[in-house]
Amino acid sequence: MTMLRSLFGPRLSRGRIDRLYAHAVAQARQPAFYTALGVADRIDARFELYTLHVLLLSLRLRDLDEEGGEMAQALFDTYVSALDDTLRELGVGDVAVGKKMRKLGEALYGRMQAYEAAVAAGEDAALSAALARNVLETDAAGAGDALARYALASRAALAAQTLRQIEAGPAWAEVK
């Protein structure tokens, strides 16, 4: 049935998914992450924030319905494609792109699993530790607390919004 629906059902608009991805990226680029929360302004730290925001948005979409689940998958696919494009823009050759994408993919899946479990359970301590290690590159106790509070507050803020509101521009938690 799913195959028939994918063949004959309504297709997700590329524009809708691209806009959702742009919303996640725009939020991850908020200066407060780099000034107030101490995230380093480097490509690897931006990757971490993009991953977190794509995950938060994907979780909300999956909570909606079957279309939301399809949108979440399309959002994730768009993110992976953007990573590939970025590597190529940085001058990574075709042969090396595959190897680098495999490493990025492993990192991406690892982050999403760690963050998703903690976000879904509302486990701020586990989320704080994972975000401190991955985003802030430290194991210092409490280093990721503010970022974890932000992520959990954003999860709650997104949960209170309809798909239409999210597509128009989601309201994220305040970065402080």
Check pLDDT > 90 for residue 4.
no
Going by C-alpha positions, the residue among 147, 152, 153, 110 that lies closest to residue 129 is 147
Going by C-alpha positions, the residue among 159, 146, 10, 25 that lies closest to residue 79 is 25
pLDDT on residue 41: 94
Query: What pTM value is reported for the model?
Result: 0.88
pLDDT on residue 8: 44
**What is the spatial distance between Cα 2 and Cα 5, in angstroms, rounded to a whole number?**
5
On average, the pLDDT of the chain sits at 89
Helix (H, G, I), strand (E, B) or coil at 44: helix
**Mean pLDDT confidence for 2-29:** 78
Check pLDDT > 60 for residue 122.
yes
**What is the spatial distance between Cα 136 and Cα 70, in angstroms, rounded to a whole number?**
32
